[in-house]
Amino acid sequence: KAGVTQTPRYLIKTRGQQVTLSCSPISGHRSVSWYQQTPGQGLQFLFEYFSETQRNKGNFPGRFSGRQFSNSRSEMNVSTLELGDSALYLCASSQGTGSSYNEQFFGPGTRLTVL
Amino acid sequence: GDSVTQMEGPVTLSEEAFLTINCTYTATGYPSLFWYVQYPGEGLQLLLKATKADDKGSNKGFEATYRKETTSFHLEKGSVQVSDSAVYFCALSVEYNQGGKLIFGQGTELSVKP
């Protein structure tokens, strides 16, 4: 089974721009979660999508948004980029239901640099 | 709120030494507990998990036991190798309509010298 894939792997943007990151989950997984990883704040939960609906949300400003498509692929968008948005953005997929619903598998991440 | 605390790193060991990375948690409900590992330039890999009290998770020589009485989930390995050098994250997921949410500790960097 193919793992979680994320595109692009690296991005460089300037302040004020917006960016879209993409995540393809493991086949059969219906839940996709997004996390931000920074040296200062560590790993922080952004949001989770399940069957095209946002099921859970972390404590991030409205500039961070996401969506999920019918094939479970997910995108996250960050508008009006700030320097502090520079981070590794990780996507994780899981079945989303049943006894393994909270076992998540991570992609390699997208490294976003904001200049 | 829910939280995870790990011992601070970096931890530096010689090859074949015994490893312990401490992890304690605070949670409402009945959390599942995980250890993830991150190698340089990569995402997180699930190392092991435990879903209820007294469960022992194990994988690749690593072990951790879910101790509800001490709210701990310490990671151990009897004999580390250079290839174990990485950052290790302890995490919890609480079982109530938060299926997609993991709360992570700050990570512990392990460096194994030959």
pLDDT tens digits for B47-97?
999 988 999 999 999 999 999 999 999 999 999 999 999 999 999 986 555
- Does B104 contact A at CB distance below 8 Å? yes
Q: What is the C-alpha separation between B111 and B73, in angstroms, rounded?
A: 21
For position A2, what pLDDT does the model report?
80
For position B9, what pLDDT does the model report?
87
A101 to B44: CB separation less than 8 angstroms, yes or no: no
For position B94, what pLDDT does the model report?
67
Among A29, A33, A43, most B C-beta atoms within 10 A, so best to mutate, is: A43
Q: Is the pLDDT of residue A106 over 60?
A: yes
Q: The tokens 């409205």 sit on which residue?
A: A62
For position A84, what pLDDT does the model report?
96
| 3-class secondary-structure state, position B10 | coil
- CB nearest B89 (choices: A32, A43, A56): A43
For position B42, what pLDDT does the model report?
87
Q: What is the C-alpha separation between A29 and A16, in angstroms, rounded?
A: 34
For residue B31, whether the previous peptide bond is cis, meaning omega lies within 30 degrees of 0, is no
Sheet holding A5-7, edge to edge: A5-7, A19-24, A74-78, A64-68
For position A15, what pLDDT does the model report?
97
For position A55, what pLDDT does the model report?
86
- CB nearest B99 (choices: A31, A42, A43): A31
Q: Which two tokens stand for residue B91?
A: 């995490």
- Does A35 contact B at CB distance below 8 Å? yes
Residues on chain A touching B90 (C-beta within 8 angstroms):
none
Reported as a single tens digit per residue, the pLDDT across A25-73 is 999 998 899 999 999 899 999 999 988 999 888 899 999 999 999 999 9
Percent of chain B residues past pLDDT 70, beyond the cut: 94
A33 to B51: CB separation less than 8 angstroms, yes or no: no
- Does B17 contact A at CB distance below 8 Å? no
- Average pLDDT value for residue range A69-95: 96
Nearest chain B Cα distance for residue A101, angstroms: 6
Percent of chain A residues past pLDDT 90, beyond the cut: 78
- Average pLDDT value for residue range B83-112: 86
Rounded to a whole number of angstroms, the CA Rg of chain A reads: 13
Residue positions counted in chain A: 115
Torsion of CA A10, A15, A16, A19, to 10 degrees: 10
A4 to B89: CB separation less than 8 angstroms, yes or no: no
For position A64, what pLDDT does the model report?
98
Q: The tokens 């619903």 sit on which residue?
A: A101
Q: Is the pLDDT of residue A74 over 70?
A: yes
Q: Is the pLDDT of residue A101 over 60?
A: no
Bridge partners (DSSP) of residue A39 are: none
Nearest CA in chain A to B43: A108
Percent of chain A residues past pLDDT 70, beyond the cut: 94
CB–CB contacts below 8 A, A to B: 71
- Does A62 contact B at CB distance below 8 Å? no
Q: What is the C-alpha separation between B112 and B97, in angstroms, rounded?
A: 39
